[in-house]
Amino acid sequence: MEAGPVQVRGTVLTVRRIDAYYAMTVVAPGVAARFRPGQFVAVAVGGPDTSMLLRRAFSIHDVRPDHGGTVEFIFAARGRGTRWLAQCRARDVLDVTGPLGRPFPVPRDPVSCLLIGGGYGSAPLFPLAARLRERRCSVDFLLGAATGDRVFGALTARRTGRTATVTTEDGSLGNRGIVTDMLSQVIHEARTDVIYACGPMPMLRQVTALASRYEIPVQALVEESMACGIGVCMTCVLPVAGSDGITRMVRSCVDGPVFRGQQVRWDDIGTIPFDAFGAPGWEPRPRQRAAQASNAAGPGGPAAASAQAGDGQSRRPPGRAGHGS
């Protein structure tokens, strides 16, 4: 498990205000060394005698080799835990586990990639963009938020992307509207082969729906609330259809947070779909029974219910679905 996560006591290097958000840089050597774009850290908040037991999960925005390896993540000081984080100062020590979750799969071929971010959901897209450029993929950005100060990374996107389109609901930055208003136009102009998206669930659902119309595969990074981030608490589940056609309640922390958008049952999030594996009254059909048995016998992977769904989707290179060239 040399590539697995580590738990480190990380020293805070900087806490910066960036528009409506905070950027925190922590010295976390093992985490930085293992990081791949799309992965996240889970941070304990409130100090040693905290009354806040649940870790807070944040997508990693950047890693750097200085001080033996640092990670940076972006957050909004919205709740008690994130407000506590926001008042941390340089040299404070945080308990950090990471890198967690399955990273974004990257295409083998130099294809045209569109990266869509809602709010600070764009944070994990920047290290991904760097990785994609290494693979000679072209990178276009489509970023949106309610207001201009909540669009994260618009400048970097303009500087590093082939194109960068910004939408705000109040029109204070870029085009007035939401990202999906601009999506068709951007897809046509950029001749998009693959979409990577991160942001609120409704945005991911709409992006997936629109992209499916053009038969463009979507890799969606979900922001489900988690208690542990490592796959033991089972709180961050959502219904995802596996490549065998069976829907399972899978953990977004270890089977995600990156999923093939077309396999997530967006409309059923917050429910147990009646046909989900193990739903009340659920009976395996003969075909499913066979699939279940063969999958259960497969090596490695996390708990049976989830490994099957995970295997089919997040490891598959997105450029493969017949949209390249």
Partner 1 sequence: MAADLRTRLGHIELPNPILTASGCAGSGRELAQFFDVSKIGAIVTKSVMLAPRAGRPSPRMAETPSGMLNSIGLQGPGVDAFLQRDLPWLLSRGARAVVSIAGGTVEEYAELAGRLSDAAGVTAIEVNISCPNVEHRGQVFACDPGAAAAVIEAVRGRARYDIPVFAKLSPDVTDIVGIARACVSAGADGLSMINTLLGMSIDPDTMRPALAGLTGGLSGPAIRPIAVRCVWQVREAFPDVPIIGMGGVRTGQDALELILAGASMVGVGTTIFHDPSACVRILRELDEELAQRGVERLSDVVGLAHEPRAAARRKRAGTVL
Binding site for partner 1 (CB under 8 A): 1, 4-5, 7, 44, 51-55, 95, 97, 224-225, 227-228, 230-238, 248-249, 254, 269-272, 276-280, 282, 292, 296-297, 302-305
The vertex-61 CA angle with 252 and 268, nearest 5°, equals: 25
- Closer CB to partner 1, 280 or 322, in the complex: 280
**Minimum distance of partner 1 from residue 77's CB (angstroms):** 16
**Minimum distance of partner 1 from residue 297's CB (angstroms):** 6
CB 248 within 8 A of CB 291: no
- Residue from 222, 26, 216, 43 nearest 124 by CA: 222
| Cα-to-chain-centroid distance, residue 125 | 9
Rg, the chain, Cα only: 19
**Minimum distance of partner 1 from residue 273's CB (angstroms):** 8
- Residue from 47, 34, 35, 32 nearest 84 by CA: 47
- Closer CB to partner 1, 61 or 248, in the complex: 248
- The per-residue b/e assignment along 297-311, b for 16 or more CB within 10 angstroms, e otherwise, is eeeeeeeebbbbbbb
- Closer CB to partner 1, 138 or 295, in the complex: 295
**Minimum distance of partner 1 from residue 108's CB (angstroms):** 29
- Closer CB to partner 1, 44 or 116, in the complex: 44
Q: Structure tokens of 223?
A: 């922001």
- Closer CB to partner 1, 228 or 241, in the complex: 228
**Minimum distance of partner 1 from residue 279's CB (angstroms):** 5
51, burial (CB in 10 Å: exposed 0-12, middle 13-18, buried 19+): exposed
Q: Pinpoint the alpha helices (H) of the chain.
A: 29-34, 80-86, 125-134, 154-160, 179-190, 201-213, 286-297, 304-313
- Closer CB to partner 1, 76 or 233, in the complex: 233
CB 54 within 8 A of CB 227: yes
**Minimum distance of partner 1 from residue 306's CB (angstroms):** 9
- Closer CB to partner 1, 197 or 254, in the complex: 254
Residue type at 169 in one-letter notation: E
**Minimum distance of partner 1 from residue 298's CB (angstroms):** 9
**Minimum distance of partner 1 from residue 288's CB (angstroms):** 10
Handedness of CA 59, 124, 13, 67 (dihedral sign): positive
- Closer CB to partner 1, 34 or 316, in the complex: 34
